Amino acid sequence: MRLIRVMYHSQSMLAQLPREELDAELMTKSRVNNQRNGITGLLIADDLWFVQVLEGAQKIVWQTFDRIREDPRHLRVMIVEVRDIAAREFGDWSMNLVTRTPETQGVFAKYGAQVLNPSRMSTEQVGKLLNDLSKASGVPVI
Ligand SMILES: Cc1cc2nc3c(=O)[nH]c(=O)nc-3n(C[C@H](O)[C@H](O)[C@H](O)COP(=O)(O)O)c2cc1C
């Protein structure tokens, strides 16, 4: 089975929502769907931006992405990177939500201080940010 990883960023329309509401509004459904579809990944939700990685079987990742792209809760969905992967890099999570918390604040600060703007970052930087946040964000949530 061909495994791929798709990374995109978008402008959040949910900027005012606190983490708990974001979790209830977006993640509950996403995790149920992803678990069913064998999708794993990470979603960074900062004040203005989302950055998400979806990994799994090629066809189902694109089906999921096509649904997400049409979602009115964000705008200007831009793919940053698509690549084949030999193994899952975020395999513990059906979708881990990462926001600014005491644990992750240091990582956000390292990559651009007050306001994260992934559209101004290189693909490599966005990838590194995701990896660092995944490490900093602690206990897997499935
Ligand atoms: C930033 C963002 C990330 C999302 N991530 C996922 C996801 O990982 N998996 C998923 O199934 N839906 C995700 N969604 C929700 C989809 O856009 C869509 O609402 C949902 O998949 C519809 O599911 P349903 O057809 O089962 O009702 C996301 C939406 C947004 C705005």
Q: At what angle do helices 28-37 and 58-69 cross, to 10 degrees?
A: 160
| Contact 90 CB / ligand 1 (< 6 Å) | no
| Contact 74 CB / ligand 1 (< 6 Å) | yes
Its domain, for residue 89, covers 3-136
Residue with CA closest to ligand 1 atom 8: 30
Q: What is the pLDDT of residues 7-38, one digit of tens each?
A: 999 999 998 888 888 888 899 999 999 999 99
Ligand 1 atom with the shortest distance to the CA of 45: 1
- Residue 142 located in a structural domain: no
- Residue 141 located in a structural domain: no
Ligand 1 atom with the shortest distance to the CA of 95: 8
pLDDT score, position 113: 61
- Residue 31 located in a structural domain: yes
Residue with CA closest to ligand 1 atom 30: 68
Residue with CA closest to ligand 1 atom 29: 68
CATH number of the domain encompassing residue 66: 3.30.70.100
When divided into structural domains, the chain yields a total of 1
Query: At 111, is the pLDDT very low, low, confident or very high (cuts 50, 70, 90)?
Result: confident
Tell me the pTM. Answer: 0.92
| Contact 40 CB / ligand 1 (< 6 Å) | no
- Residue 35 located in a structural domain: yes
pLDDT score, position 141: 40
Query: At 142, is the pLDDT very low, low, confident or very high (cuts 50, 70, 90)?
Result: very low
Per the document, the length of the chain is 142
